[in-house]
Chains A and B, each alone.
Chain A
Amino acid sequence: MGISRRNFLKGGGLAAGAVAVTGKPVRAEVQSEAIRTKGLQTSTTICPYCAVGCGMIVHTKNGKVVNIEGDPEHPINQGALCSKGSALFQVANNERRLTKVQYRAPKSDKWEEVTWDWAMERIARNMKETRDRNFVKQEKINGEMYTVNRNDGMAMIGAAALDNEECYLVGKFARAMGVGYLEHQARI
């Protein structure tokens, strides 16, 4: 007969119960031998594709994602997922994912591997030089001078794939840098 996944989550012992309460990663313990997810860590997430906001359960073992499926307790999707949501496992496990910081020098035809420290320092220096060279402190408009404190040398695009808290940090950073040209997918 076996145990259905739904029952597993609903009543599969204390640890699975904890998923229901908090969604934080916990260790799942069930008595059934047959179940594929026995002994795995579980946590919840929300689908990163469209904006329906379907709930998912992520199963991990030894630091690897081994299964992702719809969260039956989620009031919107009630366990169901579409073709894209069902494929999220392949985002977590995909040899095409970037795993190293890459740098392409001017005129080069290839990437070179660099360290985070090197890249971040160089990016910061580029940003500073660009800002300092292109900073518009004041602007004359219709014959009158206005203080605008704007960095017209750089643009920032993107963020619909980021979390809210990350978006907040992107916005805070961009405005501190004086960036007016700040846009993302909502416009396109």
Chain B
Amino acid sequence: MTNHWIDIQHSDVIMCIGSNPAENHPISFKYVEKAMDDGAKLISVDPRYTRTSSKSDTYAQLRPGTDIAFIGGMINYALQKDQIHKEYVVNYTNAAFLVNEKFDFNEGLFSGYDSDSFRYDKESWTYQIDKDGLPMRDDSLEHPRSVYQLMKKHYSRYTPEKVCEITGTAIQDYMEVVRTFTSTAKAGKVATIMYAMGTTQHTHGTQNVRSYAMLQLLLGNIGLAGGGINALRGESNVQGSTDYAILYHILPGYLKVPTYDNKTLKAYNEKWTPKTNDKQSANWWSNTPKYMTSLLKAYWGDAATAKNDFCYDYLPKRSGNYSFIKLMERLQNGGFEGMVFMGTNPIVGGPDAGSIAKGMDKLKWLVAADLWETESSVFWKRPGVDPKTIDTEVFLLPAASSVEKEGSISNSGRWAQWRYKAVNPPGHAESDAFIIDQWVKNLKKLYAKDGVFPGPITDLDWNYGTGHEPSIDMVARECNGQFTRDTVVKGKSFKKGQQVPSFAYLQDDGSTTSGNWLYCNSYTEKGNMMMRRGQDDPTGMGFYHNWAWCWPVNRRVLYNRASVDLDGKPWNPKKPVISWNKLTRKWEGDVPDGGWVPMNEDGTKSPFIMIPEGYGRLFAAGLADGPLPEHYEPMESPVANLMTRQQSNPAVATPGKINNSGKYPYIGTTYRVSEHWQAGAMTRNLPWLVELVPDMFVEISEEMAEWKGLKNGDMVTITSERGAIEARALVTARIKPLRVSGKMVEQVGLPWHFGFNGLATGGSANTLTTAVGDANTTIPEYKAFLCNIEKGGLKA
């Protein structure tokens, strides 16, 4: 989230698109309702009429996978009707920048496309540069090569009629959404977007999010209280586990994982440290070398020296895409001997889950740490499989639950909050920290004797006390970072072993460690900031700066220097995030995005400090599939793309097991319910929740039920090119067929929580989903696939 949960109360218009907070983030919805009590309008855009929709002022149905058409039409309206916050757009976004003359867009393809590799050469996706190396601009926004004019032309094709023909939305509902949302272009009015997996789980998911961000930039809604774009994250610490980079492509704090051609630390820094010629740009990532060296020092301690490149050689270098889908492909090809699952259940949660289960049969060993026996840990006795045919050694380690260990977790609003240990884990169960610690200690012993390239293990700095399990306090201190010697930084003296006060003090000479630069400031000499319980709210804006701690440096609203005008006055004085006090010459309110003076004064910096040019990107060259979002159909779709001849995202290779032949006529989409959670182990084993939602079901329209002769509760079989499951039919008026491109298209909804093991069991929806991912993130396209439904269960 750019903002945070409590901040939603400040919105004038709230659009829930690709999310259903009333059901999946129920407590957050109190802030939606609080805003509504103060006159805010709630818009719900969803294929299904959800609990969020039931509370909304405007509900707009859209077909799964058509967000870009929907938002593209809103951008078109804003540009055509001049419903934009012009001062914000000119000064804080790249709308005025001039784009390379060679950049072009034709029939669904941007310039530079190579159809053999499904990739773009991005050479033409650049700005025109002047003699000082700065992007050329036209603040009148009239230049035909300005981002503004290119965008206006690009989205002129997204007329309300065309959009609704694609999305299936009723045009009067659509226009109500468009008018209501764009009414916040006025300074003093603000809208927010709450999105979740309904947005990201598409082959064009990143561009879905981009389209939201562009709309919010045009309306001047980023950085403001009640504004921003807010990802509603689905797991209690998935924000933290992302910050801590349990992902193939990043290191803690979103540093890049080195690629094979980054031969030395110097080469790595040169490659990944962005440069700018604009003195007004903070270009925060210019600090990359400091953060990287501090991480290497945290990993390899005294062994990491300037002489040996701080053990940079010890880091594995990647030479490809190792994301979840690719990883599972490699598994199916017999590419792994062993796998480790830490509290995860991929044969329920992964796409084309049946293939993942089959792939696991090829493992030599599997280690799973969990509170429960999950489907994935008993893959060897799944229905239809003879355990005798499976040679895998399986270890199932009993883990501690959240109240049986201590540590911090980070919520969607980036608040890192401390959890205390209330009781010991049951029986022989142990914390995950204990488990990892044991592995490291055992492997250190083994590699001390012999082994391939032992250095990264034998030199690993691993000193977390002498207790039964690692001291979490010591780990938290290391995550923040410490000084490795007596030193002076920015005129302040620090002693060896002291906590680094914030990332502004991290160094690239080995004098500091930091396990995660983004969390540097979470554990200072004053103590563990994540434990704080201060309930004071002096501004009345709900920042709660003394409650827990939030990254970065306890800033509660990101990009908050865009919430003020060029003089530092809040665009909305009634709901200020920060404001410039002319007398004290200081910012007041939230922790500012850098303490520089307002934009009208010398020595200022542009508000978008993480972007090298300093301006919010309406035109973004960094993505794999184009600098402007464009509508493409999902990989499986019952209709042709009405916008261009390019059917699906050109930057995504067509995978196997896709069927657009008409054999599977209905759109399938997956979702969650309040009473269950993710792959189900944490809820399908609890009697209270099982009593509330005991069975797998498929939600179908009354129309489909009638012509298929189905009654509520009937068992049906759902099939796709990937597999088949059975479920009870839930016949509701909440899901309706859509009129798309002149024909009626049925859609069905499936919760994805169920599996064959546990107290409540049922078919796994992901048996049906497609293992094809987004062009940028490789997040699977769970939210739109094709399926068929027949009366009767699997055995029928």
Contact = CB atoms under 8 A, between A and B. Distances in A.
Interface of A: 20-25, 41, 43-55, 58, 60, 63-65, 68, 73, 75-77, 80-88, 90-92, 94, 96-109, 111, 116, 119-128, 130-135, 137, 139, 141, 146-188
B306 interface: no
Given A83-B675, A137-B453, A108 B387 contact: yes
B648 interface: no
Interface string B235-246: 111111111111
B149 to A, nearest CB: 37
Given A53-B413, A97-B372, A87 B316 contact: no
A72 B318 CA distance: 47
A177 B372 contact: no
A29 B178 CA distance: 56
B460 A182 contact: no
A75 B685 CA distance: 30
Interface in B386-421: 387-399, 401-413, 415-421
Instruction: Please list the 8 inter-chain residue pairs (A to B) with the smallest Cβ-Cβ separation, ordered nearest first.
Output: A99-B427, A53-B411, A163-B407, A158-B344, A124-B442, A98-B398, A161-B343, A158-B342
Contacts of B238: 51, 160, 184-186
Nearest to B231: A51
Given A53-B5, A167-B244, 19 more contacts: A46-B419, A80-B30, A88-B402, A103-B396, A107-B389, A107-B391, A137-B453, A149-B453, A155-B331, A155-B338, A157-B340, A162-B237, A164-B243, A168-B515, A178-B316, A180-B322, A182-B248, A187-B778, A188-B350
Contacts of A102: 395-396, 398
Interface stretch (B42-50, B121-129, B430-438, B739-747): B430-438
Contacts of A180: 248, 257, 316, 318, 322
B141 interface: no
A182 B388 contact: no
B327 A181 contact: yes
B139 interface: no
A43 B420 contact: yes
B5 A52 contact: yes
Nearest to B433: A166
Contacts of B242: 186
Contact of B6 (A49, A75, A83, A131): A75
Given A150-B318, A183-B324, A188-B349, A52 B403 contact: no
Contacts, number: 487
A124 B323 contact: no
Given A96-B372, A135-B452, A182-B247, A58 B322 contact: no
A80 B244 CA distance: 29
B576 interface: no
B424 A97 contact: no
A186 B5 contact: no
B490 interface: no
B371 interface: yes
A76 B423 CA distance: 25
B391 A132 contact: no
B262 to A, nearest CB: 9
Interface stretch (B284-292, B468-476, B696-704): B468-476
B452 A175 contact: no
Interface centre among A97, A134, A151 (most CB of B within 10 A): A97
B70 interface: no
B411 A127 contact: no
Interface centre among B251, B423, B439, B778 (most CB of A within 10 A): B423
Interface centre among A60, A88, A131, A183 (most CB of B within 10 A): A183
B349 to A, nearest CB: 6
Contact of A183 (B247, B404, B472): B247
Contacts of A174: 246
13 contacts: A25-B420, A53-B411, A91-B401, A98-B396, A100-B398, A108-B387, A124-B443, A161-B343, A164-B407, A170-B342, A181-B327, A183-B327, A186-B241
A108 B393 CA distance: 9
A180 B249 CA distance: 9
B90 interface: no
B607 interface: no
Given A97-B398, A157-B342, A168 B27 contact: no
Contact of B683 (A21, A87, A127, A156): A87
Contacts of A131: 451-452
A87 B246 contact: no
B665 interface: no
B234 interface: yes
B692 interface: yes
B270 to A, nearest CB: 16
A96 B409 CA distance: 25
A41 B432 contact: no
A183 B322 contact: yes
B371 A81 contact: no
A23 B6 contact: no
A51 B410 CA distance: 8
Interface in B278-327: 298-299, 313-319, 322-324, 327
Contact of A58 (B422, B428, B438, B475): B422
Nearest to B673: A83
Interface centre among B373, B397, B406 (most CB of A within 10 A): B397
Contacts of B241: 159-160, 162, 164, 167, 184-186
Nearest to A149: B316
A121 B340 CA distance: 15
A76 B542 CA distance: 9
Contacts of A179: 316
Given A45-B402, A126-B364, A162-B241, A181 B424 contact: no
A132 B451 contact: yes
Given A51-B236, A88-B403, A101-B428, A23 B533 contact: yes
Contacts of B479: 164-165, 168
Contacts of A49: 235-236, 677, 682
A46 B409 contact: yes
Contacts of A123: 365, 367, 395, 439, 442
Interface in B225-281: 232-248, 251-252, 257, 260-261, 263
Nearest to B440: A173
Interface in B327-382: 327, 330-331, 335-344, 346, 349-351, 364-365, 367, 370-373, 380-381
Contact of B319 (A41, A58, A146): A146
Contacts of A92: 401, 403-404, 422-423
A96 B688 CA distance: 14
A158 B415 contact: no
B608 interface: no
Interface string B136-167: 00000000000000000000000000000000
Contacts of A168: 244, 252, 475, 478-479, 515-516
Contacts of A153: 336-338
Interface string B447-474: 1000111001100100000000010100
A58 to B, nearest CB: 4
Contacts of A134: 337
Interface centre among B244, B476, B779 (most CB of A within 10 A): B244
Given A116-B438, A185-B238, A48 B682 contact: yes
Contacts of B390: 106-107
